[in-house]
């Protein structure tokens, strides 16, 4: 069975996470710039003397498709390499994938990874 490991992390941690995943043998990943909030909430900034509220915090979403046996390992690698110990480090979740197809070749399942 295939899984997708999705992580929301701080943008400045992307390079260390990418390097750690490569070192762990991950062949590919998808990265998306996203915005959101959790316990961290937003924050207040000042621009030209005016204070304003930032409701959504910039984050990076990483997605890695993998075989069932690799999902926990990949999640651990991401957690270790993205952790700063401060609020807003992010979240990781693992979901099942019913079907995957490589568009170029038509390969399916684990062959499509």
Write out pLDDT tens, residues 58-84: 999 999 999 989 999 999 999 999 999
* pTM as predicted: 0.86
pLDDT digits (tens, 9 = 90+) for 47-64: 777 777 777 889 999 999
DSSP 98: S
| 2-112: CATH, from 3.30.70.120, 1.10.510.10, 3.30.70.260, 3.30.70.980 | 3.30.70.120
Determine the Cα–Cα distance for residues 102 and 59; give it in Å rounded to an integer. 28
């Amino acid at each position: 069975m295939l899984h997708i490991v999705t992580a929301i992390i701080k943008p400045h941690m992307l390079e260390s996470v990418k390097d750690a995943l490569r070192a762990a043998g991950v062949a590919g990943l998808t990265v998306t710039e996203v915005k959101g909030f959790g316990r961290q909430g937003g924050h207040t900034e000042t621009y030209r003397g005016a204070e304003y509220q930032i409701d959504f915090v910039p984050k990076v979403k990483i997605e890695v498709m993998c075989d069932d046996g690799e999902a926990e390992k990949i999640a651990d690698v991401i957690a270790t390499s993205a952790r700063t110990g401060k609020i807003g480090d992010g979240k990781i979740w693992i979901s099942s994938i019913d079907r995957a197809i490589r568009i170029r070749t038509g390969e399916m399942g684990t062959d499509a990874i």
